[in-house]
Amino acid sequence: MRKIDHWIDGKPTSGQSTRTGPVWNPATGQQQAAVQLAEPADVDDAVQSAARAFEQWRDVSVVRRARIMFKFRELVERNLDDAARIISDEHGKVVSDARGEVVRGLEVVEFACGIPQLLKGEFSEQVSTDVDSYSFRQPLGVVAGITPFNFPAMVPMWMHPIAIATGNTFVLKPSERDPSASNFFAELYADAGLPEGVFNVVHGDKVAVDAILDHPLIRAVSFVGSTPIARYIHGRATASGKRVQALGGAKNHAVVLPDADVDFAADHLVAAGYGSAGQRCMAISAVVAVGDVGDALVERIRTRTEEIKVGPGRVDSSEMGPVVTREAQQRVLRYVDSGLEAGATLVVDGRALSVEGHEDGFFVGPCLFDRATPEMDIYTDEIFGPVLVVLRAGTFDEAIDLVNANPYGNGTAIFTSNGEAARTFQRRVTVGMIGVNVPIPVPMAFHSFGGWKDSLFGDRHVHGPEGVSFYTQAKVVTSRWPHVHDATGAHLNFPTAH
Ligand code: NAD
């Protein structure tokens, strides 16, 4: 059985781990590897390695840091196919989708290549006689990332390129369900010339996470995952004095108005609902059909949903792969049963789907519910599987109220041909990322990504300007170099400009 080690101080190591966890191939249902589950001592090794590396890395010029990022970018692009296959084999998503996530992650690396520009400070000359004032940002030290299974490349890449380019050293604790991509990128960083200890990977579960949250040398924690864990991470890490951004789960609504192009909306809703088997934090999982658009919309979503080709991620013709584990598969199936029992109409039933030659794989066919209501658990809960739920709303106002009453606030979209309705929507919804005729409004790397309400704990979003701000702290210098020293004696009043 293949063993997946930690990556500490520039090399793979099994450290002091005595426990391992299974890594499944979701397409076959077979265990394909065993990943080390770190003990606190392993986390400490990684943190000490990062702390040692920080002493040199902080003094490496921004230009040299940027050059390493350029090289890393080139190496990731050159190895894109291998990265995509590694992701697909452990996550289950189709290879083309896995390539897409690496490319979106690379956009953050490209952003980080501009670090000399991003770290330029501000200078005010002669703020008082012979006095100048300037501000600049410095790295925090050792920072950590804790990431979910659903984007094993992209979500860590929201964090480490910016953390490292701003001069920090990094400890990553990726999901134990698809750990290999992180080691692959660690090797590419080493090949790009990143000094040992600047980027470390510890694999593990709650034991490793808690050791990170409590470690006195870790200055900041970026977390992405489900809401209950995000809330826990935020509470525990802030209590130990760390800076924290903790991104949680989601229930993303798409509101479709009667004036929308229904075919266009249906195409995009199917892509956004079932891509990656619905395991995207920005997946559309609730469609709110307003007024009389419902019947036509559901019919068009139905025909497209029934055409989705489900199969192993490695097979070119597959459009949708399995979900990540047997447990996830069973959970999704339970929700579909529950929706039926609660009285929603199951328009497309994917429960019985079986993929020839892969009967033990963790597959669930796409499922489509119509006429769900807000109290049903298929609406209230984040199912995180290929289940799209349609609700009917009488008016636009009702639809907005529904979006705003939901505790999550990650992403939402409106489909309409009316600019004024779109503008009203973007102004009134209590959600962090909004798409206008765009179903998955993930901002580009030079903007910041993050939700509102139960989708984010902490105050700074990831990547873009807020990412740079998160991983740095500001200093302001007030400096006097008088050309003539006119000693006028000591004045005890509070100094004002003169
Ligand atoms: P998860 O919360 O189960 O796990 C995330 C990380 O936390 C993993 O590294 C895991 O090892 C660790 N963890 C799990 N249980 C823990 C515990 N009890 N104590 C300490 N650490 C623990 O999430 P997941 O299932 O891997 O990923 C799916 C979730 O992530 C979904 O809810 C999805 O919406 C969310 N997500 C959110 C975003 C976003 O941008 N807001 C992006 C991607 C995924």
Ligand 1 atom, smallest distance to 175 CA: 9
- Give me the helices (H) in 144-219, please: 154-165, 180-191, 206-214
Residue 224 φ then ψ, to 5°: -135, 130
Distance 247 CA to ligand 1 centre (A): 9
pLDDT digit string, tens, across residues 225-278: 999 999 999 999 999 999 999 999 999 999 999 999 999 999 999 999 999 999
167 DSSP 8-state letter? T
Report pLDDT for 452. 98
**Could you tell me which residues come within 8 angstroms of residue 209 by beta carbon, excluding any fewer than 6 positions away?**
146, 173, 233
- Give me the helices (H) in 285-432, please: 294-306, 326-342, 377-380, 396-405, 419-428
Q: What are the beta bridge partners of residue 133? A: 124, 478
Does residue 155 line the site of ligand 1, with CB under 6 A?
A: yes
Ligand 1 atom, smallest distance to 149 CA: 26
Distance 248 CA to ligand 1 centre (A): 7
Pocket test for ligand 1, best of 224, 245, 335, 383 (most atoms within 8 A of CB): 224
**Could you tell me which residues come within 8 angstroms of residue 109 by beta carbon, excluding any fewer than 6 positions away?**
69, 72, 73, 76, 157, 161
Report pLDDT for 486. 66
Ligand 1 atom, smallest distance to 382 CA: 32
Using the Cα atoms of residue 166, residue 170, residue 176 and residue 181 in order, give the sign of their dihedral.
positive
Report pLDDT for 485. 66
Distance 184 CA to ligand 1 centre (A): 21
Q: Is 281 a catalytic residue?
A: yes
Report pLDDT for 487. 72
Report pLDDT for 474. 97
- How many whole angstroms separate alpha carbon 27 and alpha carbon 358? 7
Q: For residue 283, what are its two tokens? A: 């997946």
Assess contact for 79 and 116: CB atoms under 8 A.
no
Write out residues in the chain with pLDDT < 70, as ranges. 484-486
- How many whole angstroms separate alpha carbon 184 and alpha carbon 22? 18
Q: Which of 162, 194, 281, 367 is catalytic?
A: 281
Residue 2 exposure: Cα atoms within 13 Å on the Cβ side: 11
**Length of the chain (residues):** 498
Pocket test for ligand 1, best of 23, 36, 150, 327 (most atoms within 8 A of CB): 150
Report pLDDT for 17. 87
Does residue 32 line the site of ligand 1, with CB under 6 A?
A: no
Ligand 1 atom, smallest distance to 146 CA: 9
Does residue 382 line the site of ligand 1, with CB under 6 A?
A: yes
- How many whole angstroms separate alpha carbon 292 and alpha carbon 7? 56
- How many whole angstroms separate alpha carbon 157 and alpha carbon 107? 9
DSSP notation for 314-353: TSTT-SB---S-HHHHHHHHHHHHHHHHHT-EEEE--TT-
The CA–CA distances, whole Å, from 255 to 272, 390, 451 equal 13, 10, 18
Q: For residue 270, what are its two tokens? A: 């199917």
Report pLDDT for 5. 98
